[in-house]
Homo-oligomer: A and B are copies of this chain.
């Protein structure tokens, strides 16, 4: 197995997700931890290994760096993509590319001009269940796909600062469902409609954002798609998919903390709480996403989630937001 030596850009929450996965992967080596503030870089390098560096140009010029993992704040993704592409380094970038289509197009232009391998961190594609459902659909188990449904309800509302910086619920969260469902369906919506409410945290509504949404997509084939999102969920992180076709239906089940069934004198049958949130539920998907990146880069093939996939999902998410805000159905054109 070829080893990829990585520079991890960023030292925030996602760096602590990727650090252990890089160390666990036999083909990945954490060579550099980068943050413009040396202190932060040193802190993370001390935990996961690698050299702490604070100068971007030096990192990108370093011949020991085979590829970069961009796990910085969203509004810096495009700048790092452009710089890394110019330096000829393969790029794995945490989602979303950016909250603005214009900025995303700048990244795409840089990647066109400097065609380095690029993968976007749509980690849910790499969840074994989600992948098994897609494989079942592709194998024709449900026949022609007529309906797709996705539930993504988060255990509790995020801090209002997070909400303010998020680009809105659709761009921050629904974009995951959009990417996943389009990837399963193999097509992109031509019409979208969304209703949004604010039911859990008034501060979210005061920002003009939503914490409860229902989104419907109409696909070119006629297939209909429902996305069910909530920023709060009393029973944990509710993550389900349902694919309905003319020959049957396939569903994924929620993951639980254990595999026990309990029978007691009040409610008879209980299962353990759901896994708490995405770090618990999708833990293995981050490893698998890095593995896909490693495999694609070392075998010279296009990884599963491209920059174009990211642009497309963002365009749909923005259209959903527009629909929820305007109260109108929104039609979409897709670049071929």
Tell me the A residues contacting B by CB distance below 8 Å. Answer: 128-129, 132-133, 136, 141, 143-144, 146-147, 149, 153, 191, 193, 195, 197-200, 212-214, 216, 218, 222-226, 228, 230, 232-236, 238, 244-253, 255-256, 258-274, 327-329
Chain B: CB-nearest residue to A224 = B214
Q: Which of B216, B222, B264 contacts A216 (CB 8 A)?
A: B216
Beyond A246-B199, A270-B268, A271-B268, whether A132 also contacts B213 by CB under 8 A is no
Top 5 nearest A-B pairs (CB, nearest first) are A197-B222, A267-B270, A248-B264, A235-B263, A234-B265
> CA–CA, A200 to B1, complex, Å?
45
Q: Which of B226, B247, B328 contacts A226 (CB 8 A)?
A: B226
Q: Which B residues lie within 8 Å of A235 (CB)?
A: 248-249, 263-265, 268-269
Q: In the assembled complex, how far is the CB of residue A326 from the closest CB belonging to chain B, in whole angstroms?
A: 9
Q: Which B residues lie within 8 Å of A214 (CB)?
A: 147, 216, 224-226
Whether B224 lies near A226 (C-beta < 8 A) is no
| Pairs A–B under 8 Å by Cβ, sample size 8 | A147-B228, A191-B327, A212-B224, A214-B225, A235-B263, A235-B264, A268-B272, A268-B273
> CA–CA, A268 to B223, complex, Å?
22
Q: Which of B195, B258, B265, B273 contacts A193 (CB 8 A)?
A: B195
Q: Which B residues lie within 8 Å of A264 (CB)?
A: 141, 234-235, 247-248
> CA–CA, A198 to B218, complex, Å?
12
> CA–CA, A238 to B269, complex, Å?
12
Whether B260 lies near A252 (C-beta < 8 A) is yes
Q: Which B residues lie within 8 Å of A255 (CB)?
A: 259
Whether B246 lies near A262 (C-beta < 8 A) is no
Beyond A248-B262, A264-B248, whether A329 also contacts B256 by CB under 8 A is no
Q: Which B residues lie within 8 Å of A228 (CB)?
A: 147, 149, 226
Q: In the assembled complex, how far is the CB of residue A66 from the closest CB belonging to chain B, in whole angstroms?
A: 24
Q: Which B residues lie within 8 Å of A146 (CB)?
A: 197, 199, 212, 230
Q: In the assembled complex, how far is the CB of residue A246 from the closest CB belonging to chain B, in whole angstroms?
A: 6
> CA–CA, A252 to B199, complex, Å?
24
> CA–CA, A224 to B149, complex, Å?
15
> CA–CA, A102 to B71, complex, Å?
61
Q: In the assembled complex, how far is the CB of residue A271 from the closest CB belonging to chain B, in whole angstroms?
A: 4
> CA–CA, A147 to B226, complex, Å?
13
Q: Which B residues lie within 8 Å of A230 (CB)?
A: 146-147, 244
Beyond A136-B262, A235-B264, A271-B267, whether A212 also contacts B222 by CB under 8 A is yes
Q: Which B residues lie within 8 Å of A328 (CB)?
A: 328-329
Whether A197 lies near B223 (C-beta < 8 A) is yes
Residue among A197, A232, A268 with the most chain B CB within 10 A? Answer: A268
Q: Which of B133, B212, B272 contacts A267 (CB 8 A)?
A: B272
Residue among A144, A153, A214 with the most chain B CB within 10 A? Answer: A214
New A-B pairs, 7, CB < 8 Å, besides A193-B195, A195-B216: A129-B258, A129-B259, A199-B222, A213-B224, A235-B249, A235-B264, A267-B271
